[in-house]
Amino acid sequence: MAEIQLYVDGRELTVEDSKTILEAATENGVYIPHLCHHSDLNPAGICRVCLVEADGILVPSCRAPVAAGMVVKTGGDLVNKARRLAVELLVVNHHDDCLACGKNNDCKLQEVARYVGVDKERLKRLRSRELRPVDDSHPFIVRDYNKCVLCGICVRTCDEIPCVEAIDFSFRGYDTKISTLGDKPLQESKCVSCGECLVRCPVGALLPKNGAQPAYEVKTVCSYCGCGCGIYLGVRDGKVARVRGNQDSPVNDGELCVKGRFGYSYINHPDRLTTPLIKRNGKFEEASWDEALELVTEKFQEVQNKYGAESLGGLSSARATNEDNYLFQKLLRSLGSNSVDHCARL
């Protein structure tokens, strides 16, 4: 790519000629507020919050390509007035109880409203819309239409990443909202529960039902299938509270399926076995690991001597670590059996 020079707020920047103004500014530490833009998706230019003045003309910086010698102003009376109006129209009927929102202090609308300086008195005069019901039909995701800013990130995510197209813009005018086919609850749609829309939503319109904020994260690999997606386990009080994809992983680029993102409740489930059980007199009783392993060894030897090594077989689990699964299959092969299976091959 060829490089060009342009001027942003008086600073000379050298960037690739394929960049947009927003990309050029962001890469060089110049902040331009935006809502509907996401680096994983194609630019849409919906929210108009990223307006800048380029060579004297107002343009959405997320879609406007750079040009040699271009002069860009990210502020000024013209830009600030247009940008403030765009944000006020988004905020005016937005749910305003930020402290009770799971996106508090991590909300893009909160960020841009603070940056442009929204006038609360103007908002009081403009408020009109009634509250809409919250859709909590989905087992993992809560949809709050009152916090949606119609940026379209969830729609584009569903179209461009999992390519499911489960949601889209519906109705018109003040009644416009993001909905499923027939405006049915999300659980009744063709949503595959990947959660990709959830992690990209810039506001609190899409939130996980388990909203606990992790205390720290552990980098690991998802063991549900053979893909080996990179993940981060968010841990709080010794329990897994959240899972997010590792964007630096060459396998999944941060994307996850429903199992990888939401299938972790079994880890701390009260019914999960924490000690070996041996059936005595028709009832399972707790036993030590030495007792359990000795019993398994005896049974293996008994079957091997009576029916041969190939009569042995092993079925492993995607809920065990990859290292444990490797050792399990190695154990079976060391006993002379190739009868090893695992649900991750499906």
Interacting residues of 167 by C-beta distance below 8 A, sequence separation 6+: 154, 155, 158, 178, 179, 180, 186, 189, 191, 197
When pLDDT is cut at 50, 70 and 90, the band that residue 345 belongs to is: low
Q: What is the pLDDT of residues 279-314, one digit of tens each?
A: 999 999 999 999 999 999 999 999 999 999 889 999
Minimal CA–CA distance to 53: which of 14, 13, 24, 21?
Answer: 21
pLDDT of 129: 64
pLDDT of 178: 94
- Percent of the chain at pLDDT exceeding 90: 67
Burial-class residue 215 by CB neighbours within 10 Å (0-12, 13-18, 19+).
Answer: exposed
155-166 average pLDDT score: 95
Q: Contact at 8 Å (CB) between 152 and 36?
A: yes
Q: Is the entire prediction scored with pTM above 0.75?
A: yes
pLDDT of 30: 94
Encoded amino acid at 167, one letter: I
Q: Contact at 8 Å (CB) between 168 and 197?
A: no
- The two three-digit tokens of residue 74, written as one number: 């990210």
pLDDT of 321: 77
Q: What are phi and psi of 258, to 5 degrees?
A: -65, -35
Average pLDDT of the chain?
Answer: 90
13 forms beta bridges with 6
Going along the chain from its start, the domains and CATH numbers come out as 3-100 (3.10.20.740), 129-208 (3.30.70.20), 216-268 (2.20.25.90), 277-345 (no CATH)
Strand (E) or helix (H) holding 231:
strand 230-236
pLDDT of 219: 95
The SS3 assignment for 146 reads helix
Strand (E) or helix (H) holding 239:
strand 239-245
pLDDT of 124: 65
